Structure 1
Amino acid sequence: MSDPALGLPLLLDLLNEFKKISGYKVNFQKSERTLRNAHYKFKYLGIWVTAKLKDLYKANYQLLLSSLNRDLERMQFVIIL
């Protein structure tokens, strides 16, 4: 967040709206501990969250694409049989 003074209130408003609509809320204490303890990356809801934005692609997309390709190869084998 390049300007926390401007961005944090907007983010908190967005999270509050999400809570009203979904009934879910963010556990800020747990989130803060998770972020502080993660030096490079951690997994959250099945997604690897990296310390650097540029590493998100490598940590998630490449692994997902490889897994998808393996699944497609297996499906082709089953369809051929």
Structure 2
Amino acid sequence: MFVKEMKLLIKYGIELDISGLECKVGYKGDALLKFSSSEQDTIQKIEAFCSRADIEYKISYNKAKATTDIFCVFAADTYKLK
């Protein structure tokens, strides 16, 4: 199950320079983590973690907050990133 991977990613992420963390769980069993940071190095480290753990992710820039967001999807078969 993906809960173990989520916990590892959360523990890893909170040690970095993040400005926000959101966790959403859907009724279909899907889960989404969103990390926000103004530090590009932080986003790259989370991206590398996701790549090693085979976690689907998407990176986008939030102009309103001047931060970069990385969305990490668990149980990607029920939730697709656009």
TM-score class, shorter-chain normalisation, is under 0.3
Q: Name whichever structure is richer in strand by fraction.
A: 2
Select the structure with the greater relative contact order (CA < 8 A; seq sep ≥ 6): 2
Task: Find the structure with the greater CA-based Rg.
Answer: 1
Q: Name whichever structure is richer in helix by fraction.
A: 1
